[in-house]
Amino acid sequence: MDRRTFYTLCEMLRDVGGLKATRNMMLEEIVAQFLYTLSHHLKNSTVKEFFYRSGETVSRQFDLCLLAVLKLHHFLLKTPKPIPENSTDDKWKYFKNCLGALDGTHIKVTVPTKLKGKYRSRKADIVTNVLGVCAPDMQFIYILPGWEGLAHDGRVLRDAISRPNGLHVPQGCYYLVDDGYANANGFLAPYRGQRYYLGGWTAQNTPHSAEEYFNMRHARARNVIERCFGRLKGRWAILRSL
């Protein structure tokens, strides 16, 4: 994040999020402390030593900054636009009226002992299942966190579309999903029983049928959500470790 972007974020947190400086801390320091904690996934004791603040101050200002950030979702989440008929994008021109792609990802969390069974994944990690929806330009459209690690992706998606302010799919538009989701109105899944993942095709091993060709094009476009998750976790250490 460059200085211009940082100061723009500070202005948004002040004007929209309601974050305020205190007698002893400038607003920029509060935001820097918040970003530093998330990007490096540091403990309170480490952050307080780095910024020369008490542990109580670090914890309180982190919570206030987090609440302010959550108020920015209307500005930070992108409004989806369908792929136009005259698109020349090699990955997306085959999917007219598509809005983007969605998938779930697991993020490690700490929960009470009595809840660990629900949040334990197939790999025995304690995680939450997060639904992410992104546009072709890798900007997030919608995020739904909080589900248990054992929750099926399809169940999380049903919850998202059933909420009053949840994921909305305009008539005639759709999102690309993998074979873990049902092929339904508003959600286009690949052909099952056919090669799908990108590693299955090479110059010497091209698609052998129309279904495989569709799956190849589908996988190349839908891969955008995997790249979004990878970039997000790469930048924010708190999302990839505990």
Residue 222: how many other CB atoms lie within 10 Å:
25
Q: Is 90 helix (H, G, I), strand (E, B) or coil?
A: coil
The pLDDT value recorded for residue 137 is 95
Instruction: Give 117's contacts (C-beta < 8 A, 6+ positions apart).
Output: none
| Element at 143 (helix H, strand E) | strand 140-148
* pLDDT tens, residue by residue, 188-228: 999 988 777 766 666 667 778 899 899 999 999 999 999 99
pLDDT of residue 46: 93
Q: What is the Cα–Cα distance from 171 to 186, expressed in whole angstroms?
A: 8
pLDDT tens-digit series, residues 26-44: 999 999 999 999 999 999 9
Q: What is the dihedral of CA 235, 43, 76, 148, to 10 degrees?
A: 90
What pLDDT is recorded for position 242? 56
What confidence score (pLDDT) does residue 192 get? 87
What pLDDT, on a 0 to 100 scale, did the predictor assign at position 122? 84
What is the average pLDDT across 166-184?
A: 93
User: What mean pLDDT, rounded, does the chain reach?
Assistant: 92
Measured on CA atoms in the order 241, 103, 133, 181, is the torsion positive or negative? negative
Residue 237 has pLDDT above 80, yes or no: yes
With tokens 């920015």, the residue in question is 72
Distance from chain centroid for Cα 95: 22
> Looking at the predicted structure, is the pLDDT value of residue 133 above 70?
yes
What span, in angstroms and rounded, lies between the C-alpha atoms of 170 and 97?
10
The first and second tokens of residue 83, run together, are 């792929």
Cβ(221)–Cβ(101) below 8 Å: yes
How does pLDDT run across 121-130, given as a tens digit for each residue?
Answer: 888 889 999 9
**pLDDT at residue 220 in the model:** 92
Number of other residues whose CB lies within 10 A of the CB of residue 81? 12
More confidently predicted of 206 and 14: 14
Residue 99 has pLDDT above 70, yes or no: yes
pLDDT of 241 above 80: no
> pTM of the entire structure?
0.87
Residue 233: per-residue pLDDT: 92
State mean pLDDT over 95-122.
Answer: 92
